[in-house]
Amino acid sequence: LRAAGAAEVVPEAIEGSLMLASHAMVQLGVPLRRVVHRVQVARGERYASLRGFIHGAGDAADDDSHVQMRMHSVTLHDTAYAIGKSLTSLNLHVLGVEVASVRRGQERIELGADLVLLAGDVVVLKGVSASVAQAEARLLKA
C-alpha cells in the first residue's frame, strides 16, 4: 500500500488490540483518563504521519503553550508563483515548514533540492498553522 502511494497504513489488528487492551484496563480498575491517554500515546507513536489530519477532543489551537503540527495540501494552479522554481529557491524551511511530499498526477515525486515545481503539482506542507499559511502564500503568490 505504501508503494502505491499510501501515506500511512493502519493495521486493523493494532486498532482492535488497542480497544481490547483499553477495555481490559478499565475492567481492572485503571482510571479511564489514564487509559485514554495511553491509547492516544500508542496511536501517536504508530501513526505519526496522520497527526494534523485526525483531530481528537484533546486537540487545541496553535498557541504559545500548545504547538500542533498540521499537514496541508496546496495545489499549484497555472499562475502560482512557485511554478518553474526549485524547492530550494522557495526557502520554505526558513518559515519553519517542511515539504512532506509532492504529488504530480498519481505519482509521488522524489523530493530533492533540484525538484522544479510544475502547474498541477500538489505540495504537502507540514508545520504549525501560521507557518503553513505563510508557506502557502509563498507558493501561490509572489
Q: How many CA atoms lie within 13 A of 38 on its CB side?
A: 16
CA distances from 67 to 2, 25, 51, 63, 130 (A): 28, 30, 12, 6, 11
0.75 exceeded by the pTM? no
User: What string of pLDDT tens digits covers the 142 residues of the chain?
Assistant: 778 877 667 777 888 888 899 989 888 888 888 898 888 888 777 765 555 544 444 445 444 444 567 888 899 999 999 999 999 999 999 999 999 999 998 888 888 878 999 999 999 999 888 899 999 999 999 6
